[in-house]
Chains A and B, each alone.
Chain A
Amino acid sequence: MTSGFRKLADAAAGVLFTGGALFLAGVVEAAPPAPADRTAARAELEHAPRVASYLLEARLDENTHRVAGKGVIEFSNASRAPLGELYFHLYMNAFKHEKSLFLRSPFGAGRSDARAEDWGFIDVKSLKARELEGVDLWPTRENGSPAEPNDETDVKVTLPRPLAPGERLTLDVEFSCKLPRIVLRTGYSGDFHFVGQWFPKLARLTPEGAFVHFPFHPQAEFYADYGSYDVTIDVPATMTVGATGERVETRTGGGRRRERYRAVAVHDFAWTAWPGFLEQHRTIDGVAVRMLYPEGHQRNASDALDALAFALPHASRQYGPYPYPTLTVVHPPAGADQAGGMEYPTLITTGGPWYAGIAGDRAIEAVTVHELLHQWFYGLVGNDEARFPFLDEGLTSYAEQRSRDVAYGAGSLYRGFGAELSATAVARAIAAERGEDAPLASAASQFPGFQTLAALVYSRSATLFETLARVHGRERLDRALGAYARKYRFAHPGPAELVAALDAELGPGTAQLLDLALNQRGRVNYVVRDVQTAPERIPGGHLDASGNTDEPVEGSTVPRRFHSRALVVRHGELELPVEILLIDSTGKVTKKHWNGAGPFHVVEHHGDAPLATVVVDPERRVLLDDDLLDNAATVSRSLPLRTLERGAYAGLLALAVLGP
C-alpha cells in the first residue's frame, strides 16, 4: 500500500467507522420500518446496518485483464458471540482451475452451460489487522470448506485473539484479481470488462456468531452483510465506467481516468469499463438512471428505460421506496452476453440482440424489470441466495410478472401478429412440467441441474405467488409481500419470515399450504369426471316401513325435471378453494363452491334441463393446477373449428410457398 493511499484510507475509514458505530450489535433480524417517502428513505440509508464496509482502490490493466486492488475492510462483530476466525469468499477463484466446484462439472457452468475459456483468480497478498498489531492474517488461511479440498473460493482466516461482540476490526488488504474471459457474469471480452465478485468478500455473520460461508457452486449466487463501499476505479482514459453507487469524483491524467464511487447500505459492489459505451440518462421517480449500451442498441436502451419508467415507481409503491439516488443499467456488447441479466446493488445488467423487440417480444423489458426487482428481493431484503434461492428469484419473478402484467397486459411476453402471450402463462406451464422434480425451498446446490432450478425457483415460485393472489385476492397478497419487504429491509430474512408475513395476511392454513408447496413438493390437479344425468323420479317399490306390502307402488319420472351429478377430484396435497360451474343444456349457469378439502367432491344438480357441462376453477385462479385441460367435462364436446379454420389457412399459405 502506498503512503498516499494510506492517508486516504485512514480518512475514509473514519467516515466508515462513524456509520459502523450506528450499528447495534445483535439487531440483524429486522430493520426499522421502511419510510413512506423517498427523502426519508435516503436518510434511512445512513442508519442502515454496516457490518462489513470496504474502502478499495482498483486499477485495471486492460491488456492483461488484471485488477490490482488494495484498501481497507472495516468489520464489526455484530453478533452476540466472540469470533475466533473470519471467513472470506474469493468467488473469482471459481475460475482458477477445473477442480473448482464451479468448473469441475463436465456439463458446463450451471446457468449458461458455458465453460471458462481463460482462467480467472484472485490472489490476496496481505490482510493486516490494525487492531491486532498489524499482524498479517493471510498466512493463517485455511480452506473454509474442507469437504471441497480443491476449491479456493471459501477461505477461513484465524484471528490471534477472539473478537468480542461489538468490537471492530480494520483490515488493510492488498490483492490482485485476474479476470476470466467472460463466463456467466464476470470477466472480459475484447476491451469490455465486467468486474463482479472481484475482491475478498467477508461472509455474512449471523447474530449467533456463525459465518454463512460456502464454496461457489455454479447454480448458486451470493450472500453478504450490509455495509458502505467507497471504491476508486482507475482505468484507461478512453474507457467509460459504470459502477455500484454514486460517482462522487472523476479525475483524469497520464492517460488514465480515476472515478470514485460511494454506496451506502449495500452488500456488494460491481463495475464495468469499456471504451465503446454510449450513455442515456433519465430521472425516474427521483432516481438518476444511467444507461450504458453499445452502438447499435439505442432502441434496446430506450426500451429498457421505458420499462424502468413504469417498474421503478410501481415497485417502490409495492415494496417500499427505492432509497438509493442512482441506478446504473448496463447493456453488454456483443460477445459479452453472459454479463447480461444480472443484479448488483444499484447496478443491473440487461442484454439482448439489437433486433430484440422488433417482432413484438418483450425480452429487453423482461430482463430489465427482473433485475430491477432484485433491488428489493436480494438488495434491500438481503436473503441467502445460496441457501434459499426462491426467496429472491421466486419473489422477483412474481414481482416482475406482476409489474409487466400491469404495464403490458396480456401481451407481457409477446404481442404481435394478432397474438398476445403472457409471462404468467409460460411460467405456469414450466412450473407444471417440473413441479415434482425437487422441493422448491432447496438450496441452489441441491437442485439436480440448473434447468430444474430455473423451472422451480423462478417459474413455480412465481406461479405459487400468483395462485395465492388469485385465490385470496391480489390486494391481500400485495399487502403481505409489501409488509415483508418493508419489515426486513436491510435485514436477512429466511423462509419462516416470509411464511409468517403471508400467513398473517392471507389467513389460517396458509402456513401449512406453503410448507407443503415449498418443502414437500406439494402439487394440485383438479379434475372433473363423470357428468351423469337422469330424469327425476317419484320413488316406487315396497314403500311401507316393513317392506312387506303385497302390491308395490309404481315409480314414475317427474316431467321435465332432471337430477345430475358430477365428480370433481383433487389430486395432490395442496388444498385450495375452487368454484365449480354447472351449465345445463339450455345454457343456464349455476356456481358452487368447494373449499378443496378431501380428495373429491360430488356436485349435485336438480333442474329443468339435464346438466351439460361442469367446469372446475372457471376463473383459472389455481394456476398451480398441473393440468388445466382436465378441468372441464361435458356430455357433448365441441369441435375445434377455429383451430381447423386457422390451420386450413396456414396450410393454404404453405401450399402457396411449396406448391406450383
Chain B
Amino acid sequence: MKRRTVAITLDFALRSAGGLMLALPIAAVVAGTGIGHFPEGDRLLFEPGGLFTVEVARRLLGSLAPLATTSLAMALALALALVVPHSALLVALAERDESPAPAFWGRAAGRVPALLALSGLGLAAQLVAWTVGTAVGSGASTVFAQSAAPWPEVGHVAGFALGGALALVVGVTRDLSRAAAVVHGFDGRGALECGLRTLLSSSRDALPAFVGPALLSALSVVVGALAVTALDVSRPGTWRLLAVLIVHQGVGYALAWCRALWLSSSIDLVAQPSIARR
C-alpha cells in the first residue's frame, strides 16, 4: 500500500514538474512584455474585462505560433518520459506483495519499451480516430447545409462526439494493453491483443470501471475551477496565489488517484484467468 502511494505521488509529482517545464517558456515570454513593471504585476492579466490580457496577446501575436509548436513538441517529449514513472505505477498497482526495491525497479524498467510502443501507438490511433470523427462530422454538416436543415452545425457536433468517443475507446484499449504488458509481461503486440480481447469480452465491466474514475476526474477539475474563480487572483493578496496553487495541485493529485483507480481496475480485468488463458 505504501509503495502504491509513493508510486502515485511520484507519478503526480513528475507530471506536475512537467507542467511547470511547459509553463516556463510561456511565463518568460510574458515577463518580457513588461507586465512586471506595473505595481499589480501579472495580476492585471486576470482582471475582469481582459484589457491587459488582450494587450499581451497582441504583443505576443507573432510568437504565439512558434511558442505553441515548441510547447507541443516539449509536451510530447515529456509524455514519453512519463512512461517511466507510469511503468513503476503499474508495477506497484499489480503487485500483491511489495517486492524488494531492486526487483521492483527492474521489473518497471523492463516494461518500459512495451509501454512506450503502446503509448506511441495509442496516441497515433487517437489522432486518427479524432480526425475520422471530425471528417465525418464535416461531411455531415455539408449535407445538412445543402438540405437546409435548421442546424447544419449538428454535423460538426456529432463529428466531435464521434471522434471523442472513438478516441476514448482507443484510450481504454491502450490502458488495458498497458496493464496486460505489466501483468503478463507481454511485448507490445501481445499486450495490444490482450487489451483488445479484454475490451471485447469484458466491456460491461471495463466501461463502469473507466467511467467512474473519469467522472470523478471531471468533477475534481470543475470543483477546482469553481474554487479558483472564487479565489480570484486578479485581486491583491499573495495568499490567493498560494491558495490557487494548492487547489490546482490538489486537483492534479486527485487526477493521479483517479487514474490509479482505473489502472488498478484494468489490471484486475486483464488478470482474469479467462483472459490470460487465451
Contact = CB atoms under 8 A, between A and B. Distances in A.
B23 A650 contact: yes
A417 B229 CA distance: 8
B132 interface: no
B48 A652 contact: no
Interface in A621-660: 627-634, 637-656, 658-660
Mostly, the B contact residues are helix
Contacts of A420: 48-50
Contacts of A418: 225, 228-229
B103 interface: no
A428 B54 contact: yes
A296 B54 contact: no
A636 B150 CA distance: 58
Contact of B23 (A422, A627, A634, A648): A648
A421 B53 CA distance: 9
B204 to A, nearest CB: 25
B49 A410 contact: yes
Interface string B9-24: 0000001101111111
Nearest to A191: B148
A84 to B, nearest CB: 50
Contacts of B225: 417-418
A330 to B, nearest CB: 15
Contacts, number: 210
A184 interface: no
A293 to B, nearest CB: 10
A419 B57 CA distance: 15
Contacts of A615: 38-39
Interface in B237-267: 241, 244-245, 248, 251-252, 255, 259
B124 interface: no
Interface stretch (B76-84, B184-192, B195-203, B270-278): B76-84
Contacts of A655: 15, 18-19, 22, 75, 78-79, 82
B151 A354 contact: yes
B248 A645 contact: yes
A410 B19 contact: no
A160 interface: no
Nearest to B259: A656
Contact of A334 (B15, B20, B152): B152
Contacts of B95: none
A583 interface: yes
A5 interface: no
A650 B19 contact: yes
A628 B42 CA distance: 13
**Most chain B beta-carbon neighbours within 10 Å: one of A297, A420, A422, A649:** A649
A641 B40 CA distance: 12
B82 A642 contact: no
Contacts of B251: 649
Contacts of A637: 31, 34, 36-37, 41
Contacts of B259: 656
Contact of A654 (B19, B115, B145, B248): B19
A62 B164 CA distance: 43
Contacts of A33: none
Given A640-B42, A655-B75, A190 B22 contact: no
Nearest to A417: B225
A43 interface: no
B54 A429 contact: yes
Given A425-B51, A648-B16, A296 B38 contact: no
Given A654-B75, A660-B86, A642 B46 contact: yes
B255 to A, nearest CB: 6
A96 to B, nearest CB: 27
Nearest to B251: A649
Interface string A578-612: 00010100000000000000000000000000000
Given A632-B37, A638-B42, A654-B75, A648 B148 contact: no
A353 interface: yes
B123 interface: yes
Contacts of B46: 642
A429 B56 CA distance: 10
A455 to B, nearest CB: 12
A659 to B, nearest CB: 4
B48 A411 contact: yes
A432 interface: yes
B48 A651 contact: no
A501 B40 CA distance: 38
B207 interface: no
Contact of A409 (B16, B20, B48, B78): B48
Chain B CB count within 10 A is highest, among A276, A411, A637, for: A637
A238 to B, nearest CB: 15
B223 interface: no
Contact of A422 (B34, B50, B245): B50
B223 to A, nearest CB: 13
Contacts of A333: 148, 150
Contacts of B255: 656
Contacts of A638: 36, 41-42
A354 B155 CA distance: 13
Contacts of A422: 48-51
Contacts of B19: 647-655
A656 B36 CA distance: 31
B58 interface: yes
Contacts of B33: 629
Nearest to B22: A651
Contacts of B115: 660
A658 B150 contact: no
A660 to B, nearest CB: 4
Contacts of A649: 19, 248, 251-252
A418 B226 CA distance: 8
Interface in B34-78: 34-39, 41-43, 45-59, 75-76, 78
B153 interface: yes
A660 B42 contact: no
Contacts of A424: 49, 51
A294 interface: yes
Nearest to B221: A653
A492 B58 CA distance: 38
Interface in A293-311: 294-297
A653 B249 CA distance: 11
A422 B53 CA distance: 11
A426 interface: yes
A295 B148 CA distance: 11
Contacts of A648: 16, 19-20, 22-23, 248
B23 A644 contact: yes
30 contacts: A297-B150, A335-B148, A409-B48, A410-B47, A411-B48, A424-B49, A426-B54, A583-B39, A620-B51, A629-B52, A630-B34, A631-B38, A633-B37, A634-B36, A639-B27, A641-B41, A642-B244, A643-B26, A644-B20, A644-B24, A644-B27, A645-B23, A647-B19, A647-B23, A647-B24, A648-B19, A649-B251, A651-B23, A656-B15, A658-B79
- 4 smallest A-B Cβ distances: which pairs? A647-B23, A651-B19, A651-B22, A637-B36
